[in-house]
Amino acid sequence: MKEKIFIEGRKKLSGAIPISGAKNSCLTLMPASLLSECALTLNNVPNLTDVETMNTLLRSLGCVVHYQKADKSLNLKTSDECLFLADYDIVKKMRASILVLGPLLARHGQAMVALPGGCAIGARPINLHLMALEALGARFSIENGYVKGKVGSRLKGCKIEFPFQSVGATANTIMAAVLAKGTTELLNVAREPEIIDLCKCLKAMGCKIEGEGQSRIIIQGVDNLKTTRHSVVMDRIELGTFIIAGAITNSDIKLTGGNTALLENFISKVSEVGIEIHQTKDYLQVKRENSSSIKCTNILTEPFPGFPTDLQAQMMALLSIADGVSKIEEQIFENRFMHVPELIRMGANIEISGREAIISGVDRLKGAPVKATDLRASVSLVLAGLVAEGQTEIDKVHHIDRGYEDIIGKLTSCGAVIRRY
């Protein structure tokens, strides 16, 4: 695998970039195929390594998987002879692997899932998942790095209040509750578009769910599900990333398939720093106000509908060339400033104090050899490289394949000088 990206900076972009289906939504939807022997077909599925990792995991559990790259469709079908062991060698690659736990327990009454891996951006424990599933009737032990779960007969609906919002725990609990006996009431749930997309798909499968997108969800358990086809929601994080790509290079670009309604807080912030975004029926147009410089701002990452933590690193790259001093406070993950030392290597002026980053804007960044540490950090360095003077070489870029479909091709088509080797 080619592990480095080379960028010749300070090239304006022009053209149209298509926005792919949401990685985070795909990884939540795919385990739903374990709930029934009926086929689940997903459309608008991006070609990403995380999606392939989930495909591999589902195959290991007995799911028949067919991905058509040409039309981006994914067909999933799991027989009643499903296996229950989610092996460490697969699970260690991706935290979303834990999302098979709820469906396996709901349908088969047992599961054995390795403790998950993924990006090194914080502890992200699974205690909320286990707490909620235990409330539904599952019993757990952790042995030799595996979570072992069993259900006496059938999960039973109940009232569960999460102490704080968690997308993963919300998704796992919803998928378990749709086959539980009786009614489940979930309070303080995650409200992210990816949760809404999951509920939309599950309802098409025959599940009875009310309240998705709100802090309270009611689920009435059902006995059987049906064959379903569902189109994955657009990737709001990719959309935000390419909005910043246009802004940071002072370019005029079009983003097709995007929807600002899923990014209202982010759109408000980029407008505040001087970026114009025009929504039409077919595309979003992105450009700076009168080609002016970027203004400073303060950002606080929060659960949806707040500013997404998955766009924090990209926004920091943009603010590193803003006029004045900006502040970013990271409330979601305790270790999500790993890109800062690399941006500093490129000339950024950033100081870290706990969960706060103070960014004093500089006139320009300069190309340098840097190293990616996680998915969003890697793309923040790509953005910085696009605007930097000279050449930027980014190492360890396998992270970017986890969440950005053909990013090199998309940027090159708009005039960026960028290649992988």
Residue range 211-221, pLDDT digits in tens: 999 999 999 99
Q: Say if CB 133 and CB 109 are below 8 A apart.
A: no
E strands, 211-313, in order? 216-220, 228-231, 252-256, 275-279, 283-288, 298-300
Catalytic residues, which ones? 119
Lookup: tokens for 37: 């022997």
Cis peptide before 305 (omega within 30 of 0): yes
Dihedral sign for Cα 236, 242, 243, 248, please: positive
Per-residue pLDDT at 119: 47
Crossing angle, helix 167-177 and helix 127-135, to 10 degrees?
Answer: 20
Q: Determine contact, residues 219/157, Cβ cutoff 8 Å.
A: yes
Domain architecture of the chain: domains with CATH: 4-20+234-420 (3.65.10.10), 23-231 (3.65.10.10)
Mode of pairing for the β-strands spanning 369-371 and 391-395: parallel
User: What pLDDT is stored for residue 124 in this prediction?
Assistant: 55
Quick one: how many helices (H) and strands (E) in the chain? 13, 24
Angle formed at CA 17 by CA 319 and CA 272, multiple of 5 degrees: 30
Residues 98, 129: Cα–Cα separation, whole Å? 9
The beta-strand segments (E) located in 48-115 are 63-68, 73-78, 85-86, 110-114
Strand-pair category, 275-279 with 283-288: antiparallel
* Residues whose CB is less than 8 angstroms from the CB of residue 3 and which lie 6 or more positions away in sequence, other chains included: 395, 396, 397, 398
Structure confidence by residue, pLDDT tens digits, 315-367: 999 999 999 999 999 999 888 999 999 999 999 999 999 999 999 999 999 99
Residue 358 main-chain phi, psi, to 5 deg: -105, 120
- Stated pTM of the model: 0.95
Letter string b/e over residues 30-52, b meaning 16 or more CB atoms within 10 A of that residue's CB: bbbbbbbbbbbbbebbbebbbbe
Using 50 as the pLDDT threshold, list the residues of the chain that sit under it: 118-122
Phi and psi dihedrals of 188, rounded to 5? 60, 45
